[in-house]
Structure 1
Amino acid sequence: MSSNVFGNTTLSIDNFVDTSFTGTFANLKDVAGLNPLERLWAAYYGYIGNDLFATGLLFFSIHEIMYFGRCLPWFIIDRIPYFNRWKIQDTKIPSNKEQWECAKSVLISHFLVEAFPIWLFHPLCTRMGISYSVPFPSWSNVAMQIAVFFVMEDAWHYWFHRGLHHGVFYKYIHKQHHRYAAPFGFAAEYAHPIEVALLGIGTVGSPLLWLHFTGDLHLFTICLWISLRLFQAVDAHSGYEFPWSLHHVLPIWAGADHHDEHHHHFIGNYASSFRWWDYVLDTEAGVTAKSTRESKMKKAAGNIKKNN
């Protein structure tokens, strides 16, 4: 078996007597400095023996498990009346038929649209110098980079999402995503293939742009980033506002209440993760935001009249 998971070191999986997954994992216990997660990563790549296939399978599996795994709890919550008190649009509970049709459409999109670039990601890793060897970078480095990716992706998402609400872009592309005025988990990636690709560039492109300027990026960091981004996207479409929702602790965080207003009013609140773009550029959605804008306009008109 051949793998570059150990980078430029002299260690090779081929030297192990037992090259099964469990055998490889057990043999790696003697490698100094590797924690259990790093051993698991190295054993996986070593056992597969083909780095291109291993990365493709890893990314596709993470995408499906994180997306549908996070959607499932919201689907269950939608079926339990007790939670309706926290439903933002409490009169619009998605039916089983709507949930199934949406999930089926998303699944088809995953296999026919997203699978191809996912399975070709490893050659890009090799070409651009993304490391996938062990050991991993420090947790502080991983956390810092993911925080930067959230900020970068949020900027990309705001401007391109806002652009998709104009004229033909909305009519022929973005309108599909707005089929559900009261969003639910499965609807997070229910979108036209062009929209999936366009907004997906922000998710994948942010780490690559970081790599271009810093030369420092590990595939493990990208895996965590993709997982957290999927988690955030599904939660933003959940349709529920809880007392313990993250934006109560981190006021700049967008959350479900922010994005639900976007689906409800079909305009405003274009950002994905944070509230600052919509606040600064006066594109907040909802009745409160509209009232605030009208007050500002009246005040500005009064000042002009007074000065004249």
Structure 2
Amino acid sequence: MSSVYHDYTGFQNVTTFADAFSNFQQVQGLNVFEKLWGAYYYYMGNDLFATGLLFFSVHELFYFGRCLPWFIIERIPYFDKYRIQETKLPSNQEQWECLKSVLTSHFLVEAFPIWFFHPLCQYIGIKFQVPFPSVTDVLIQLTVFFVLEDAWHYWLHRGLHYGVFYKYIHKQHHRYAAPFGLAAEYAHPVEVMLLGFGTVGIPIVWCLVTGNLHLFTICLWIILRLFQAVDAHSGYEFPWSLHHFLPFWAGADHHDEHHHYFIGSYASSFRWWDFVLETEAGPKAHKSRETKMKINAEKVQKKIE
């Protein structure tokens, strides 16, 4: 029997998911998402298996589901004008090779820790029961995760560009100088684990410190992080791209510069680390730094005179 709910008094025996959902329809004070969540765990009857299947399915569905629109756009000539590197479109062969590598990584590297995530959750106190936490708690935690993951990604990613780390680990991800959505998780297994800690490890540390975290929040966080990663590798810049409305958001144009020039623009979600530490990539950023250096040199010269 699942531990997703504290009181099954009055529940009927179930043979289908619809039966399980019907039982949770009787529970007062739960919204439809909480009822679906509770019915799923109750129907599965094994919390470890249910969490593993849920997280693996969420990862596959939303990763490839978000890649699919970009795959279609790449084959519609109308959108070529929005392509950042206009003359570099991935071939079908490149897409196929990338897909095989990503699937291998998903099943041989990422699947094992996903399937055994539930015992860790139980051990450190990550909740999965209904009801869900408040909207305020969820939004605060998602914001914290985005900010901390961005910092982790910046410094680890920057470190992977040094010497042997680049040659033997990070170089694989730079196979495609003009990135495309599917290449978001095309990386060496060591890189997958190191940078993946920012996505999974930060929520774990948050729970260890605060004792307040729910699996539903982690599901939302993983979905948003997947969307961010795939979009950053899309290779397209639109007038409606998010960074036009949130100037500190990184987006595809920021990360595309990194792949194009193989250095700089290391952050994942935001621009502030690269801006403050002057590691933005591309000729525009280089020119801006030169102008800034020239102005500072002129100020120093005036003080001497």
- TM class by shorter chain equals over 0.9
Structure 2 residue aligned with 1:11: 8
1:298 aligns with 2:297: no
d(CA) in 1 for partners of 2:14, 2:113? 34
Aligned to 1:175: 171
Distance in 1 separating the partners of 2:106 and 2:4: 27
Instruction: Give the length in aligned residue pairs.
Output: 304
Contact 2:14/2:43 (CA < 8 Å) preserved in 1? no
Does structure 1 residue 125 correspond to structure 2 residue 124?
no
Query: How far off is 1:303 after superposition?
Result: 4.1
Structure 2 distance, partners of 1:230, 1:116, is 19
1:42-73 deviation digits (Å, cap 9, x = unpaired):
11111111100000000000000010000011
SS in 2 for 1:195: helix
Residue 230 (structure 2) aligns with: 234
- Residue in 2 aligned with 1:56? 52
TM-score, normalisation: structure 2: 0.97
Alignment of 1:1-308 (within 5 A): 2-6=1-5, 9-11=6-8, 15-306=11-302, 307=304
| Separation of aligned partners in 2, 1:73 and 1:17 | 42
2:19 maps to a residue whose letter is: G
TM-score by length of 1: 0.96
C-alpha deviation, 1:304, in angstroms: 4.3
Further displaced range: 295-304 or 238-247: 295-304
Partner secondary structure for residue 138 of structure 2? helix
Long gaps (5+) in structure 1:
none
Q: List per-residue Cα deviations over 1:180-237 (Å, max 9, x = no partner).
A: 0000000000000000000000001111121122111000000000000001000000
Residue 296 (structure 1) shift: 2.4
Cα distance in structure 1, aligned partners of 2:9 and 2:162: 55
Residue deviations 1:130-181, cap 9 Å, x none? 0000011122221121111000100000000000000100010000000000
- Alpha-carbon distance change, 12 to 43 in structure 1, aligned in 2, over 3 angstroms: farther
CA RMSD between the two structures: 1.3
Which 10-residue stretch deviates more, 253-262 or 201-210?
201-210
Inter-partner Cα distance in structure 2 for 1:127 and 1:150: 24
